[in-house]
Amino acid sequence: MTALKVENLAKTFALKKPLFGAAGPGVRAVRPMSFSVETGETLGVVGESGCGKSTLARMLVGLLEPSEGVIEIEGRALDTADPAAFGRLIQYVFQDPQSSLNPRKTIRQVVESPLRRLYRMSASDREKRIGEIFASVNLREDFLDRYPHEFSGGQAQRIGIARALAADPRIIILDEPVSALDVSVQAQVLNLLADLKAQFGLTYLFITHDLAVVEAVSDRIVVLYFGAVVEIGKAEKIFSAPRHPYTRLLAESAPKVGRALEAPEQKDTELPDPLNPPPGCAFAGRCPRATALCREKDPPLEQMGEDQFAACHHPLDT
Amino acid sequence: MIAFLKLLFRNRLAAAGALVLTAIVLVVLLTPVLPLQNPDATATADRFQKPFSQGHLLGTDHLGRDLLSRLLHGTRLSLAVGVAAALIAATIGSAIGIVAGYFGGRIDNVIMRGVDMLMAFPYILLALAIVAALGPGLMNALIAVAAVNVPFFARNIRGVTVGLAGREFIDAARLAGMGHSRIILTELLPNVLPVIIIAMSTTVGWMILETAGLSFLGLGSQPPQADLGSMLGEARSALISHPHTSVVPGLMIFLIVMSINLLGDGVRDALDPRLKSGALSRPRATTLVDRKGDIPERTDDLLAIQELETEFRVGRRTYRAVGGVTLSVRPGECLGVIGESGSGKSVTALSVMGLVASPPGVIAGGAVRFQGEDLVGAPYETLRQKRGDRVAYIFQDPLSTLHPLYRVGRQLAEAIQSHHRISDRQARDRAIGLLRDVRIPNPESRIDNYPHEMSGGMRQRVGIAMALANEPDVIIADEPTTALDVTVQAQILSLLQDLRRDRGLAIIFITHDFGVVGQLCDRLAVMYAGRIVEEGPTDDVLESPAHPYTARLIACVPELGGGRRELAAIPGLPPVVDDLPPGCAFAPRCDKAQAACRQGVIPLEGQDTRAVRCLYPETDLSGKEVAR
């Protein structure tokens, strides 16, 4: 079954209207994109800063209203940007665990608010439910009456996960959930997430910039560049046999023990300017395979191989 | 609360202010029950009695009324009006500010432009206009003073709210199903409250003065009612002939406003998290040195860190961030220092040039030798000459290390000119050359950019160019690529590699990323809880780690191409360095730990280039597996 389906979802941030003349066309943070996530699947989303991954995540949970497109959760379209309506179906785990917890509220108040607001549970039901949730994220219940600053990053992130679980959602968006954590703690949280998924039958959308992490936890991976999907494929194949040159660049840039140090890209390129997007493929300026066609026409996302899709006029051979 | 009061009273001026104010408030509260004369009873025969005269401790005024009684009643009224005005202004102003800051956009624009209009009038004119419209009287003066101060609170609180409204916990509250009013009341207000209190404590005094000013002009309290302003106003005509009638209320106003302001400043300093963390105590130019024990002998290395101990002394606690670290680099060598947050790797790096903030940082032992010369305890001028010239730093976040208001060329030139006397023209040419060296395209035009006009990768290149500016012998790079995207990281790393090859630079590279270390560094030191637990040639350490911590940390890091898998984790947390367990700091998290691991000092031992601080290492240092 399809847990989450996104069709032509796009977000354009309007520019401020100047004193004279009309406002510009706006910044296209997310260009129309479509994909779907099956129930129980983990879809990884990778891309570099500015590729639109956080904007996408915020639209999916209703914190931002899409400019166009439809979000469907378990076959039902959600058309309002009302976090409370989204809250019972889809929840969000934030990147910075400390700043996602109100410093002046106890952990109990933080975890209990979805139960109160979304489910209107009675006090005794809440107590029971919080006990269950805390047991499943391996936190002691005596943490409940403490304040966020008393916790380490890994513990705070588990509290953030507990809060997301409290809403009993079908889907959890994990926005760089381990980037702020040390490696020894990172693995604890990733393994916990895997256990919770099996236990509660959750569906994950895992957003990160760390290729090794996303490969380790995902079933399928979406690669974003400049607000658009450039490649979708199976996690085990996408970096070893990429079809899009950008995916290959990413894979070759990841630091790896035993590989000689050389910049995979010698040209001193910068990301395209979002205010003044280039015509055609956004990656053409950095791409060794780019031709005149790439600079004119934006390549559509096409099926290449069994379950791999890439948006490229001149895809790499496998 | 007790901690707050302690912090508050450590500030002597604030304590004095609190004392004076408490005394005044107590006396004023007791005024109705004190055996005082009627403040409004006139006795023209006794007018202008001197202080300390019979029956009138402070003398009498122009109508023969008892000054002491009028003073206390007047102070009571003035304080009440001032505090009431402050409360009203704070409530209305904060409400406006929170609403404007939370909703933003059009609502913010309309509200704040209205507030701006209110601010455009000179305050006394506005107050006069309000009183003129409502008629004179203490209540109307109170309304006027409150209204005049609303914009101050509105603007202050809006600024704080805008910052808070973008924080993730507000998004989280929306996802938890909270509505706008609930978010404002339960999420924003508790976080804004300290700011409101700070703003109030610094404005109450001002409002008392404003009320007194209006009363002085005859627009506030009406005769015969006494308040401090009207007392001054009535005494004005006798200022020369009978000064005590003006001095008495004047002194009281001075005492009240002064004590409130001193206390208010103290409250602000104690509540403001930035000031609390010591931003007010300016750090010294070099780290304090308080060495006990012997100073290690000099070596032949280019840069040698020997038995270095750096502590943070906060109150009664001592955090031993670096507990006896020995490291060295030779020319052209790259040494990797790897560790998790809190392992002391950055503090080690900053200690080299005495850059650890003091207070609270103290170098408590060991030496740092550059070409044999001990830099710990060296005079500031020696350190200043070497900083950036012989030993340069590259930091993690180039956005916070570059000055936002100067063009990058200016900053580069400054780095050169602080060590070499060359003309501006030459410095600029050199800066362009440096930008070209770090492969910034089009350096002639890029040199006039401000930092915010560059991407993260470009800014880090400027940071590297600045480190290279004086052709140093050693570069200490503290997580220089952590904030960058992988494709940019790859470019920066290969740039550092080339520079090292071409110029014979020695690099100390601090990171938490094994992949980066494996590609760039010749040797590797692993730090845990302020100590080196293992060191050796990079490939050897990564292939056959000897310390259980190194082995398990490597296992935690997923590597690209490994496929979907369960990741190894290390249970527990790194220890806090103010209370380290005896023996091995890793023992509580180690599954091989024995009783012997938890006592005594475990030395860093090994042969040749490899060493490990472990009683039961994973591999013995000749490279064979040890039987487990």
- Chain A and chain B share a number of CB contacts under 8 A equal to 201
Q: Are residues B13 and B75 in the same domain?
A: yes
Cβ separation of A257 and B568 shorter than 8 Å?
no
Residue in A84, A99, A251 nearest the CB of B168: A99
Contacts of B574 (CB under 8 A, 6+ apart): A182, A184, B340, B342, B343, B528, B529
CA distance B142 to chain A (A): 34
Residue in B487, B516, B520 nearest the CB of A250: B487
pLDDT level of residue B627 (50, 70, 90 thresholds): very low
> Is B196 in the A-facing interface, judged by CB distances under 8 Å?
no
Cβ separation of B513 and A255 shorter than 8 Å?
yes
Chain A CB contacts of B573 under 8 Å are 152, 154, 185
CA distance B391 to chain A (A): 24
- Percent of chain B's residues with pLDDT above 70: 97
> Is B591 in the A-facing interface, judged by CB distances under 8 Å?
no
Residue B448 resides in a domain: no
CA distance A249 to chain B (A): 7
Full residue range of the structural domain in which residue B516 is found: 284-390+472-628
Residue B72 has pLDDT above 90, yes or no: yes
Chain A CB contacts of B340 under 8 Å are 182-184
Element spanning A9, H or E: strand A2-13
Q: Are residues B224 and B355 in the same domain?
A: no
Q: Are residues B289 and B164 in the same domain?
A: no
CA distance B282 to chain A (A): 26
Residue B105 resides in a domain: yes
Q: Are residues B324 and B251 in the same domain?
A: no
**How much is the pLDDT for A130?**
92
> Tokens 């035009």 appear where?
B445
Residue B281 has pLDDT above 90, yes or no: no
pLDDT level of residue B532 (50, 70, 90 thresholds): very high
Residue B575 has pLDDT above 70, yes or no: yes
Residue B418 resides in a domain: no
Element spanning A192, H or E: helix A183-200
Residue in B177, B512, B513 nearest the CB of A114: B177
Q: Are residues B157 and B303 in the same domain?
A: no
Q: Which chain B residue has the Cα nearest residue A105? A: B187
Full residue range of the structural domain in which residue A179 is found: 2-218
Cβ separation of A118 and B176 shorter than 8 Å?
yes
- Chain segment B368-415, per-residue pLDDT in tens: 999 988 888 888 888 888 888 899 999 887 777 888 899 999 999 999
Residue B497 resides in a domain: yes
- Chain segment A133-169, per-residue pLDDT in tens: 998 888 888 889 888 888 888 889 999 999 999 988 9
Domain closes at, from B229, B245, B279: B279
Residue A260 resides in a domain: no
pLDDT level of residue B628 (50, 70, 90 thresholds): very low
Chain A CB contacts of B459 under 8 Å are none
Q: Which chain B residue has the Cα nearest residue A256? A: B515
pLDDT level of residue A272 (50, 70, 90 thresholds): confident
The residue-averaged pLDDT of A182-209 equals: 90
Cβ separation of B176 and A163 shorter than 8 Å?
yes
Chain A CB contacts of B562 under 8 Å are 212, 215-216
Q: Are residues B245 and B294 in the same domain?
A: no
Conformational region of residue B227, where left means phi above 0, alpha means psi within -120 to 50, and beta covers everything else: beta
Chain B CB contacts of A194 under 8 Å are 566
Cβ separation of A262 and B178 shorter than 8 Å?
no
From CA B9, how far away is CA B480, in angstroms rounded?
Answer: 42
Residue A223 has pLDDT above 90, yes or no: yes
Q: Which chain B residue has the Cα nearest residue A255? A: B515
The residue-averaged pLDDT of B71-99 equals: 93
From CA B616, how far away is CA B82, in angstroms rounded?
Answer: 72
Q: Are residues B478 and B571 in the same domain?
A: yes
Tokens for A62, please give them.
């209703």
CATH number at residue A131: 3.40.50.300
Q: Are residues B241 and B291 in the same domain?
A: no
Conformational region of residue A20, where left means phi above 0, alpha means psi within -120 to 50, and beta covers everything else: beta
Cβ separation of B573 and A187 shorter than 8 Å?
no
Cβ separation of B487 and A114 shorter than 8 Å?
no
**How much is the pLDDT for B454?**
81
Count of domains observed in chain A = 1
Chain B CB contacts of A236 under 8 Å are 563-564
Residue B524 has pLDDT above 90, yes or no: yes
CA distance B344 to chain A (A): 14
In three-state secondary structure terms, B419 is: coil
CA distance A296 to chain B (A): 25
Residue B451 resides in a domain: no
**How much is the pLDDT for B71?**
92
Residue A228 resides in a domain: no
Residue A68 resides in a domain: yes
Cβ separation of B564 and A240 shorter than 8 Å?
no
Q: Are residues B104 and B208 in the same domain?
A: yes
Q: Find, among B553, B628, B552, the residue nearest to B594 by Cα.
A: B628
Residue A19 resides in a domain: yes
Residue B59 has pLDDT above 90, yes or no: no
Q: Are residues B288 and B259 in the same domain?
A: no
From CA A78, how far away is CA B257, in angstroms rounded?
Answer: 59
> Is B171 in the A-facing interface, judged by CB distances under 8 Å?
yes
Of A132-136, B99-103, B194-198, B226-230, which has the strongest mean pLDDT? B99-103
Residue B61 resides in a domain: no
Cβ separation of B489 and A253 shorter than 8 Å?
yes
CA distance B573 to chain A (A): 8
CATH number at residue B348: 3.40.50.300
> Is B526 in the A-facing interface, judged by CB distances under 8 Å?
no
CATH number at residue B229: 1.10.3720.10
DSSP lists the bridge partners of residue B66 as B60
Contact (Cβ atoms closer than 8 angstroms) between residue A239 and residue A251: yes
Q: Which chain A residue has the Cα nearest residue B517? A: A257
Chain B CB contacts of A275 under 8 Å are none
CA distance A185 to chain B (A): 7
Cβ separation of B173 and A113 shorter than 8 Å?
yes
Residue A314 resides in a domain: no
From CA B404, how far away is CA B414, in angstroms rounded?
Answer: 15
Residue B44 resides in a domain: no
CA distance A248 to chain B (A): 11
Residue A297 resides in a domain: no
The residue-averaged pLDDT of A64-77 equals: 87
Q: How far is CA A27 from CA A15, A31, A174, A277, B586, in A?
A: 7, 10, 25, 9, 50
Of the candidate ranges B13-22, B249-258, B510-519, the one whose mean pLDDT is the lowest: B510-519
Q: Find, among A256, A205, A202, the residue nearest to A232 by Cα.
A: A205
Domain closes at, from B240, B257, B279: B279
Residue B45 has pLDDT above 50, yes or no: yes
> Is B520 in the A-facing interface, judged by CB distances under 8 Å?
yes
**How much is the pLDDT for A18?**
67
Domain closes at, from B279, B304, B327: B279
Count of domains observed in chain B = 2
Residue A118 resides in a domain: yes
Cβ separation of A87 and B559 shorter than 8 Å?
no
Residue B132 resides in a domain: yes
